[in-house]
Amino acid sequence: MSKIGNAIAVAGANFALVKYWGKRNDALNLPAVGSISITVDSLITKTSVAFKENGSGDSLTMNGELATGSMLARVSRFLDWVREMAGMKLSAVVKTENSFPTGAGLASSASGFAALALAASRAAGLALSPRELSILARQGSGSAARSVFGGFVEMRRGSRDDGRDAVAAELASPAHWPLSVVVAVTGLKPKDVGSRDGMTHSRETSPFYDTWVAGADKDLPQCRGAILERDFDKLADVSEFNCLKMHAVAMASRPGILYWNDTTVALIHEARRMRKDGIPVFFTVDAGPQVKFICLPEAAPQVKKRLAGWPGVKDLIECAVGKGVREWLGEGR
C-alpha cells in the first residue's frame, strides 16, 4: 500500500437514457433496474481529499462553503467505507467544487461521488480497479457508479445480495459516437424532492412502479443496440419513452412528484417540433426541471439557435461525450 496523504480527482456528470429509478436494497444502494447513460465533459466536479494525522472529524467544503448536517454525514459515511478498506481511522478534509448548479437535476451527486471515490481511495493509499471504484461510488450515489467511466456506460442491476455485481462498465467509448448534449437550464434552486426520496416514494406509492421495473428488461437491450449500431432514431425512441415513463411513475405517486416547470414542458414540445423539422435531436429530463437535448454534433448550433432567448431558459450548456473519472495532476496535465 502506498502512502496515506492527499489526492485530487475530477469527474463529469452523466445523463441517463435508460434511467435508474428505484432501489432493490436501500442500505447498500442497489438499483432495482439497470441503466444506460452518457458521461459528459462540461459539467465537472473537482474534489480534493486530505487525510490528517491529528484531525478531529471530517470536514467538507462545497463550492467554498463549509457543509454540515446531512450532506457532511453522507460524505463521512462514504469515507468510512474507504477507511475500512484501507484499515485506518484518520479524519479527512474534503473540498469539492462543481462547475454547475448543485442539486438541481444536473447530476451533481453522480460526478460528486465518482470524484470523491477516486480522490478518497487514492488519498488513503488504495489503488482500486475501475470496477472496484464503480462499486464504491455506487454506495455514495447509484448514478455515480456510471460517472467512473467515460463515453456510453451501462450500469447492471445485479442480483447478488452483497451488490458486487451492481456495477457499471463502458459500453462504447466517446469516439464511438461523438454526440452533443445541449442542456437547457430552466431552474437553479435545489429540487424539493431529491432523487433518493423520490425513488422510495415511487416504490411505496406509485401504482406504476412494478410495471416500470419490469419494463427495463426491454428498454436496456434496445438502447444498448441503438448505441452500438449508432442508430439515432432508435436511440431517440427508446430514450424519450423511458424518460416519460420514469416521470409518469413519479407523477402517479401519492402525493405526486412533479419535477417539471412550465418551461420544461414547453421545451419537450420544442424538441419534438425540432425533430419533425428534420433536426436530429431528442430530449431527456432527470429528477429536476432541466431539459437535455441530445443531438448529432452538426445539429448542435441549430438546436442552440432554436433555444436562444427562450423565455424561462436561464442558461444553455453544450457538452460533448466525455471521459471517466481521473486524477487531477494540475492544469494541462
CA angle 146, 285, 244 (to 5 degrees): 110
CB of 294 to ligand DP6, least distance (A): 14
20 is an interface residue for ligand DP6 by CB under 6 A? yes
| Residue 254 DSSP one-character state | S
Nearer to ligand DP6, 51 or 78 (CB): 78
Mind giving me the DSSP string for 50-111?
A: EEETT--S-EEEETTEEE-HHHHHHHHHHHHHHHHHHT---EEEEEEEESS-TTSSS-HHHH
154 is an interface residue for ligand DP6 by CB under 6 A? no
Q: Answer whether 185's CB lies under 8 Å from 304's CB.
A: no
CB of 286 to ligand DP6, least distance (A): 4
Q: Answer whether 324's CB lies under 8 Å from 39's CB.
A: yes
Candidate segments 13-21, 122-130, 290-298, 314-322, binder of ligand DP6 by CB under 6 A: 13-21
CB of 91 to ligand DP6, least distance (A): 24
Nearer to ligand DP6, 280 or 289 (CB): 289
287 is an interface residue for ligand DP6 by CB under 6 A? yes
Sign of CA dihedral 65, 68, 72, 76: positive
Nearer to ligand DP6, 86 or 227 (CB): 227
Nearer to ligand DP6, 23 or 275 (CB): 23
16 is an interface residue for ligand DP6 by CB under 6 A? yes
Q: Number of helices (H) and strands (E) in the chain: give both, helices first.
A: 9, 14
- Window 240-279: contact mask with ligand DP6 (x via CB under 6 A): ----------------------------------------
CB of 325 to ligand DP6, least distance (A): 15
Residues in the chain, how many? Answer: 333
Q: Which of residues 107-146 bind ligand DP6 (CB under 6 A)?
A: 109, 141-143
Residue among 7, 11, 22, 29 that touches ligand DP6 (CB under 6 A): 29
Mind giving me the DSSP string for 40-52?
A: EEEEEEEEEEEEE
Q: What letters, b where the CB count within 10 A reaches 16 and e where it falls short, cover 250-278?
A: bbbbeeebebbeebbebbbebbeebbeee
Grid cell for residue 188: 437553479
CB of 314 to ligand DP6, least distance (A): 20
CB half-sphere exposure, 202, CA atoms < 13 A:
30
Residue closest to 293 by CA, chosen among 184, 143, 187: 184
Residue among 196, 272, 304, 326 that touches ligand DP6 (CB under 6 A): 196
39 is an interface residue for ligand DP6 by CB under 6 A? no
Residue numbers at the binding site for ligand DP6 (CB under 6 A): 16, 19-21, 29, 35, 109, 141-143, 195-196, 286-287
